[in-house]
Amino acid sequence: MSTPPCAVVVGSLHYDIVVDAPHRPAAGETVTGTAWRPVFGGKGGNQAAAVVAAGVPCRMVSAVGDDGFGTFLRDRLCAAGVDDRHVATLPGQGSGMSVAIMDAGGDYGAVIVSGTNAAIAPEALDRDALWQGATHLVLQNEIPEALNIAAARAARARGLAVVLNAAPARTLSETFVPLVDILVVNAGEAEALCGVAVGSLDGARAAAEALADRFAVAVVTAGGDGVAAAGTGLDGTRSEPGHKVRLVSTHGAVDCFIGTMVARLVEGHPLTEAIADANLTAARRVSSPR
């Protein structure tokens, strides 16, 4: 029996503590919140779950601690249908976690503590079973760049396309950049990488064009304004306007976009179709209670 096409995610798992508050605190300010809840998170985990939710199998390489957070994360990852056989449990180490403050407008800010995400063993990348049937690798910046480079090289050697969500924003080495086939960034990350402000869909188009000078393909999300892409095989800069929805929460929206886009690419759809479907799915996500 042949192995169905799938994606591989190498990335982070975070136990997210989400706090609802009227607004996010300024320096030195204490704000009285209204509720809090634990949420499965980490960009890697969210993107892997989004791939599966879009109908495509996904395997994940990551690490958790032998603590309650780690148990929670593995249970939720498996419940989402992600193959966790390449997720290690590291004795005596704390799992990754974050605290996110969600304001009344549905936007948020977060602080992450990497924990075991900084200790994912590169040896996991050497297992042939990890790559069997895989067509796309998905990476993020919540793990060390050295691991991202090792994963990208392993994927390229096996003929996979490499998708990087360069979040959170950080300087990318000239060793890493040529290994990336598709870069995905939001407005702030795009500006950090190329200096182009993204306050509209036109801004996203300009940023995508600037980033396409360094990356084979650049995709820039601009929130409710939509998404733009430029680079190899796109016949110029392409854009998709945002869908008009009632915003409930932006938490995890880009992860949903990336997972859906990658799922469509694994299925063999053109990038423009994958982006359009991802844009619609992310709009539905931000208009749904979390």
Residues 6+ apart with CB under 8 A from 290: 18, 39, 248, 249, 251, 252
- In angstroms, how far is the first alpha carbon of the chain from the final one? 38
| Residues 240, 286, 136, 44, Cα dihedral to 10° | 140
Q: How far is CA 247 from CA 8, 9, 236, in A?
A: 31, 28, 31
How far apart are alpha carbons 114 and 117 in whole angstroms?
5
* Per-position DSSP letters for 24-56, written without gaps between them: PPPTT-----SEEEEEEE-HHHHHHHHHHHTT-
Find the catalytic residue in 16, 225, 255, 277.
255
132: left (phi over 0), alpha (psi -120 to 50) or beta: beta
Q: State how far the alpha carbon of 220 is from the alpha carbons of 29, 42, 152, 271, in Å.
A: 33, 20, 21, 13
Q: Is 16 a catalytic residue?
A: no
Cα 221 from Cα 232, distance rounded (Å): 18
Question: What amino acid positions are annotated as catalytic residues?
Answer: 255
